[in-house]
Every structure is written in C-alpha cells, then in structure tokens.
Structure 1
Amino acid sequence: MGLVDHLPRAALGHFPTPLEPAPRLSAALGGPQILIKRDDLSGLSVGGSKTRIFEFVLGDAKAEGATAVIASAGEQSNKLRELAAGANRLGMQPILLLTGVTGARELTGNRFLFEILGAEVHTTPIADRFDPALVAELTRLCDEATAAGHRPYLVYHPGKTGTLGTAAYVSAAEELVAQFAGLDREPTHLFLATGAAPTTAGLVLGLRTLDQQLGITGVSVASPHDQSKAHAIAYANKCAELLGISRRIGEADFAIDDTQRADFSLPATRAVIEAIELFARTEGVLLEPTYTGKAAAGMIAAIRRGAFKPTDTLVFVHTGGLPGLFAHVGEFGY
C-alpha cells in the first residue's frame, strides 16, 4: 500500500507523467545529464502540478458532498485554472476570488481561461493571502454559495487543503522513485519551483521517507529564503502527521535558492528569459516566467558555477503554467 492510498482521490489527470531525458539541453550546458519530470503533461486543461494536487483536494471535496469550490489567488493563477477545470469535471461550481486586482480586467492567459471554463469570478484589491480581510472575503463567498443552495468547500492553502496538496506530491515522490529504478544511473539532484511550498514539501517528505539521498533545491519564486524554507518544513511535517509517517523534515533535508525570486508584478529577468529560450530551443519544452522559468534559471546558474560534475544526473520538475507565458509577451523583445 502506498503512502497516500487511504486518502480520497478523484481521477483527473494522466499519471505517471513522463521522466524524459534532455540531451540537447545537457549538451548546451556542458553536462550534467538532465531529466525533465513532465508534470506539465498531467492532462487537465493544459496540465501542470495542480492537476495532481486537485486529485486529492477535490477528491476530499467530493467525499464531503461539496457542490461548489471556492478559492483565491492572482489573476494569472494556474491553481485557479486547474481548480475550475477539475470542478467542472466533477460537477461542482468553481467560484474564484482574484486577489491584488486594482485595474481594468485584461483577458489574457489564465484570466481568459477562467471565463472559458465558466467560473464565477470575483475580484479584490487584497493581495496578501494571509490577510484576515481576505479570509473574510472568502467566508462571505462561502455564505453566499450556501444561500444559493450549494454546499461549498473552501480551498485555502494555510488550512487542510494545503496539507492535502502536500500529500499529492508525496505520491509524486513515489512515482519518481519507481521511475528512478529504471535509469542506468541514480539522480544526484532535483530542482523545482517553490511558491506557496506544498509541492516542494511533498516531494521532500516523500523522497526522504523513501530513503532517497539525492539533493533537493527549491528555487523560490517570490519569498525570501527563510520564509520559503519555513513554509515547506511546516507543510511537510503537518502532512507527515496526516499520513502517519514518522519521518520529520528539517533544515538539512533540502535547500532553498532565492536568487531568482521577484515580485509577480515585475517583468521577467534576463536570466529567466534566457532559461525559457534555452529549454524551448534545445528540447522544444515551454516554460513560463513566474515559476518554471525561475526554477530553470536557478538550475542553470548552479550548473554554470560548477556545482555539479558532468557525470551527475539532475531532475528538473516541470510544474506547468503555460497560459501564464502569454501574459508576458511584451517582455521578450521580439
């Protein structure tokens, strides 16, 4: 029995996702060997890491009899796009609260897809997900959904759903370990983007529980080092309690690289644009500036400063997010 098999789960994606060699990218960087874990090919809407997460979160919502799901995030949120798609698949109404909205509506990228997916969309100028005023807004939407005859389910990462999202990537760690067994050499390091941190937390917890010794670096996309690391450790250990895992995660179990972090409202840096172009022009793999482009830039910088030998094998976890790329068209200078 797997580590997460006792949890409710809704079938939304195509798993396992591929673990693909990237020989032309590896050659362009002078080694080491790079493998790409293609969670961007997970299947729901345009795929991404949130498909895996919402198999567990929406599985829990269905088990509780929910008929509407409510969540908040920014206008280009991959989470909200995948939530809306998954809710539609399972017959629930998606209700989205877009945060940090102060200007006119611009229908591009994920914001456009929210409309195609038929989500009920609300906006607020509040940007901080930990702001009590945002929680009050979400509570109001839950109350309105109840008054309209729905049984609402709130997706709010600091609560239960963040722990379930972490469990989803414990499952991903089990999937990776099975794929590692078919390789001709053991991976020595893994890179991924770290945002709110459940994805990073789940992979760290799962890989360490399964006695995997490879290095793990989460490239923080927005938060400073200490905050990002603390969030990941908290999610991992809360999830360990949920799953009945005795292993606990600490500072030494993984690294956080915050050298690529930037506010989501800022244009992509030159390093991020170069990373996106390099992946596209060597492997035909598309990244985006907010998450995966930063993770790739962090990995590339580590390779170029000599952190790895040509004989090492690195795993890059592609967490998706393609629609967000189209909100940054003017930043590439073409």
Structure 2
Amino acid sequence: MKPFQYLRPKTVQEAVTMATDNPEAQYIAGGTNLVDLMKRGIASPSKLIDINHLPLKKIEHRYDRLRIGALVLNSDLAQHKAVLTRQPLLAQALLAGASGQLRNMATVGGNLLQRTRCSYFYDLALPCNKRKPGAGCGAEEGINRTHAIFFAGNGFGGIEKSSCIAVHPSDMCVALTALETTVVINGPDGERRVMMKDFHRLSTQQPELDTNLGPGELVTAIEVVDNAFAKHSHYLKVRDRASYAFALVSVAAALQMDGGRIWDARMALGGVAHKPWRYWSIDLMLRGQVPSEKLFREVAEHEMEGAKATAQNAFKIKLASNAMVAALKTAAGIS
C-alpha cells in the first residue's frame, strides 16, 4: 500500500472542495471495499478524505419519501422501522448482502460505489480494461461463469473487445433500482439529483468508470418515494453458497395488487450486467393481469430474449428466468 495523506473535513462543502482540488483523492467511510483495493494496489489515492463525521447518518420520512443519509450503516438501515414498514424490499436486499460484520461497517454510500468482484480486476498480473483501459478483458476468453449476460445497447448488443463483462456486485442497488430511487449528490456546482437507473454505467468506451459521478462529487443521501409495494415484494438471491457470496442472479420484484389483479409492477436483476438491470416492459405486461405462474413465465421468457451468454455462463439465462418467476410468485403470494 502506497503512503497517503489523511484528511478530515468538518462539512460536506469542505469535503467536496478537498476532493475537487485533489484529483487523486478519494472519500472513505466504512472502507469495506476501498481498503481491500488499496491493499492490492488497485486503488492508490494520494489523499483519503474521511467523511465519517459529516451529518449524513439520518433516516427520516419527508413528505412523500424516505430520505436515507449516505453514512447510514447497512445493518442499521435493514433494521429501521420505517424501512421495514415502508420499503421492506430494501431491507430484504440488505440482509442478503455480505455478512453481519461487514453490514455493521458498510455505509449506504459505500454500497452504491463498491466495485466489481471480478477476479481479473483483482489480479494485477491479468489484463483488465476496468483496471487499465485498453489492456483487454481477461474474462472474455477466460473464466466467465459469473459474468454478464446483458450488455450495452439496450441489452441486445454484443460483447465489445474494449469493454468489460464484469457484473455489479451490490444487492442493495438492485432493490433501489426496482424502487426507482433518487441519488442525492453534492459537488463543486452544488446539489443535484440522479435517478438510480442513471447513476451506474454500462461498460461501453470507458469501462473504468462505474458511475456518472463527476470530479469531487459526493453522494450525500438517497430518496425512496412512497409506494404501494410493501405487502407484495420479494428479493431473491441465487448464489453458490448460502452465506457471504455474491449473486449469480438476484431479482427484486415488487407488485401493487388489488382485487386479485396486478395494478403496478417493478423488477430489477442483479448479477447479470455491469449495473443493476431494470426491466421496464414488465410494468405494462403485468398491469391489470391476474397473477399466475403461466403469466410470470411468459414475462420472464420475454425479458430474457435480449440476454447473450459468454462461453461458460449460458446457464444464467435459464437461471435468471426461473428466478424471476419464483420472485414474482412469492411477491404475488401464489404457490
């Protein structure tokens, strides 16, 4: 690990100024991902800006939305009464991620910004476009069992030689994408808001960039608008082992039901793309329909038409389809 300067700002604006003035600086809070990257030599910030003492730890309901500070711990968020009653899908996703010890350290903002767990990214001896743009993607012709099945170009494009086929690792972000969350960001030009679907990037010409954050920008909160999904939502995570493993495929499914029919629906997938993968057509395909396994199977097969397997992960297409059906059935309360 290279030497670095440690900075501790007193305000959000001071933190932003520090990061803007120092292009090689990085923010640190829980550090559950950043410290690992620094130990391996993948991240080498010249300055670490410790934001732990900034006033970004509140969870509060404001008007029609739940506002969650970027420094709220994952474990606290998963157990908070307002989350359990208003947004249980988010709590389920948080509890499916990492381990209890990590959730006690990891923050909401850090979860949003965590980097891929692709083994080619972590091994400095192997080529990786995300780590070193232009070096090539070792996973393309290598071990790619856990890698993406959806890519740039609305999911119908091929795998670009200059891109990255790694998947986004977060469970929390999948639920937040399904719930159409807003990310609140502070930067040199003040505060701005970005929809969760636009926060992370697909791997096109700049695979080294995971998000659309600008220089010096700091995530300060997320906002989840009130909805009618609390009684009919489910987060399903399929993984190689039951404890502390990243998803092969995960599904965040949320339904609004009344009179035995579906009146609104949201769904996002994890473990299948460079960012949480949001299905937009499901809203229209399920609206006004009576839930059934047949209906859900038709929807899942339709949505998987854009998937493209690599050499070792063709099983993911069927797995994702089955997981979608299972998650929708659980959310709808049918056996």
Question: When the two structures are superposed, what TM-score results if normalisation uses the length of structure 2?
Answer: 0.30
Higher relative contact order (CA 8 A, sep 6+): 1
Looking at secondary structure, tell me which structure has more strand per residue.
Answer: 2
Looking at secondary structure, tell me which structure has more helix per residue.
Answer: 1
Question: When the two structures are superposed, what TM-score results if normalisation uses the length of structure 1?
Answer: 0.30
